[in-house]
Amino acid sequence: MSKEENKKLFIETLGCQMNDTDSQHIIAELKEHKNYSTTRNMEEADLIIINTCSVREKPVQKLFSEIGQFNKKKKDSAKIGVCGCTASHLGDDIMKRAPYVDFVLGARNISKIKDVVDKKGAVEIDIDYDDSTYQFAASGMNMYKTSVNISIGCDKECTYCIVPATRGEEISIPLEMIVEQVQKDVANGAVEVTLLGQNVNSYGRRFSDGREKTSFTKLLQEVSKIDGLERIRFTSPHPLHMDDEFIEEFAKNPKISKCIHMPLQSGSSSILKAMKRGYSKEGFLKRAKKIRDLIPEVRITTDIIVAFPGETQEDFEDTIDVIKQVRFDQIFNFKYSARPNTQALELEDKEIPDEIGSARLTEVIELHKLHQSEHMDSNIGKTVNVLFESLKPNGEVSGFTDNYCQVFVKGSDELLGRFVDVKITGATRTALKGEVIN
């Protein structure tokens, strides 16, 4: 097929890191097969794509107001496509509410982008579609860090979560495809990779070709053999599936960044049961302690949902207690948001009044701020090793330590892509400031 004239794509990405990689795949596929290049100016675009998130209600509301705006300001001939998780769960309802939308492409169907892009009215949202072995076009981007999907879907049934309904069952991407992708990115200049999945620890349990099972630990070992790759990160692990073999690999493998996301969700064993998380307060604390004991410099981040239906003051205090014991380095806090296609909808009569939810959220945020300040201040005076990755317009260069703390120094683009020792001279709650040691 001959290539068409160059066209402009404007893409907006909401949601998680998996949506970011999906957007990268969309861009690469449209560049390779349809001769699109990206633009940041929506008004000059020939194609406008919004890659959506459904995990909470707010972004879904935002979607309709946003595409309405796009429709008003876009070029007359420009098409609008809605992709991602909201596309999966609303399907053709999107076109009923917004008839000017040209196509709808669900999260698990991204590999069909080149086919739907010219099909007015296409709705591809098959939840059983398997693109785990699809070879996406190369992104061709030279970056110090890259992200690679290791699985599609999610097999957990956390009762609050819409993701299994938008991304379908979990299928692992073949190990050799992942290794090959990382090798290519490293050849293009990447020194850091983030391995992505909704539950990375269950990697290797099901492949679409029915091959033998493997494990996330094995994948980490294989990826870490890649020459030139210096740092490995991953998200999200699931506290239930962080077995001893994994924790030991995490601790001893020098290429693995010593920052781990341990999504707690709630500190109350009874709420965790109602959420079907599969671990108790004590089980979580035991794993967090094991990690801190093995790796004193580790940074632990988490996700917390307050005001899950039926959450009593006592349950909430258990969450506060876990925060006090683990002293997380970063907390992503959310107020429970009732979502379609989730089991927690049945608990509607136990929903917590919004004012109580907001007060609990504030309490978590305030407590966490104290811990953050203490953690960050404790770095002042220390020497840390930083991989620099971006030059700011104000002449500062930013990068991350091995345990993924952001550091700013005065410097030039000569620092980019290098690991450099830095003496820490100051700290805010979210980043460190320092001076390069020559």
Residue 143 is encoded by which pair of tokens?
Answer: 């970056």
DSSP three-state, residue 188: coil
Residue nearest ligand F3S, CB atom distance: 15
What are the φ and ψ backbone dihedral angles of 69, each rounded to 5 degrees? -65, -45
Query: Please, which residues bridge with residue 330 across strands?
Result: 301
The angle, 0 to 180 degrees and rounded to 10, between the axes of the packed helices 313-326 and 354-377 is 10
Residue 336 is encoded by which pair of tokens?
Answer: 């429970």
Rounded Cα–Cα distance for residues 329 and 86 (Å)? 31
154 binds ligand SF4 (CB under 6 A): yes
Among 316, 336, 388, 400, binds ligand SAH (CB under 6 A): 336
* Smallest distance, ligand SF4 to C-beta of residue 405, A: 25
Among 198, 257, 319, 330, binds ligand SAH (CB under 6 A): 198
Among 50, 305, 361, 384, binds ligand SAH (CB under 6 A): 305
* Smallest distance, ligand SF4 to C-beta of residue 171, A: 14
284 binds ligand SAH (CB under 6 A): no
Q: Which stretch binds ligand SF4 (CB under 6 A): 152-160, 250-258, 363-371, 430-438?
A: 152-160
| Residue 337 interacts with, from ligand SAH, ligand SF4, ligand F3S, none (CB under 5-8 Å by kind) | ligand SAH
Count Cα atoms within 13 angstroms, Cβ side, for 428: 6
Contact set with ligand F3S (CB under 6 A):
15-16, 18-19, 53-55, 84-85, 107, 162-163, 166-167
CA angle 133, 135, 136 (to 5 degrees): 125
Per CB under 6 A, which of residues 386..425 are in contact with ligand SAH? Answer: none
Q: Indicate the pairing of strand 383-391 with strand 396-401.
A: antiparallel
What are the φ and ψ backbone dihedral angles of 340, each rounded to 5 degrees? -65, 160
Cis peptide bond prior to 151, omega within 30° of 0: no
54 binds ligand SF4 (CB under 6 A): no
199 binds ligand SF4 (CB under 6 A): yes
Give counts: helices (H), strands (E), the chain. 13, 19
| Residue 85 interacts with, from ligand SAH, ligand F3S, ligand SF4, none (CB under 5-8 Å by kind) | ligand F3S
Name the DSSP letter for residue 417.
T
337 binds ligand SAH (CB under 6 A): yes
Helix runs in 188-243, H state only: 216-224
Q: Which stretch binds ligand SF4 (CB under 6 A): 80-88, 154-162, 180-188, 320-328?
A: 154-162
- Spatial CA neighbour of 410 closest among 427, 383, 426, 392: 392
Which residues here bind ligand SAH, judged by CB under 6 A? 55-56, 160-161, 163, 198-199, 236, 263, 265, 303, 305, 334, 336-337, 339
Which residues here bind ligand SF4, judged by CB under 6 A? 154, 156, 158, 161, 163-164, 198-199, 238
